[in-house]
Amino acid sequence: SQQGEEDPQALSIQEGENATMNCSYKTSINNLQWYRQNSGRGLVHLILIRSNEREKHSGRLRVTLDTSKKSSSLLITASRAADTASYFCATTGANNLFFGTGTRLTVIP
């Protein structure tokens, strides 16, 4: 029951550059969350943005939400090799959390 789609599917950048990934979803939401997953292990919660918020920051992360377009973006500034991972958006609607398709980010040292 996946309702989000992310693009790009894969992104490769040099260390120090910024990385932007986008998420589109289909139905109304309570909030939207971003998660990171390293090497097929557990997911780590990065940031949550509520449906009445438009932008949120946490360290090197900046998330925007446009509910009229049903889309969100995650910006990672000054990327590091350790940021190499898969990034998923996830939306909570009436019942539970549905994940997007994910973006595979590779940061080249």
Chain residues that interact with other proteins, rule: CB under 8 A: 1-2, 30-31, 33, 35, 40-45, 48, 88, 92, 95-102
CB of 24 to other proteins, least distance (A): 14
CB of 70 to other proteins, least distance (A): 17
Residue 22: other Cβ atoms inside 10 A? 16
Nearer to other proteins, 15 or 93 (CB): 93
Q: Is 14 helix (H, G, I), strand (E, B) or coil?
A: strand
Q: Residue with structure tokens 């998330």?
A: 63
Q: Which of 79, 72, 69, 55 is nearest to 21 (CA)?
A: 72
Q: CA–CA separation, 12 vs 21, rounded Å? A: 11
Nearer to other proteins, 79 or 86 (CB): 86
Nearer to other proteins, 33 or 79 (CB): 33
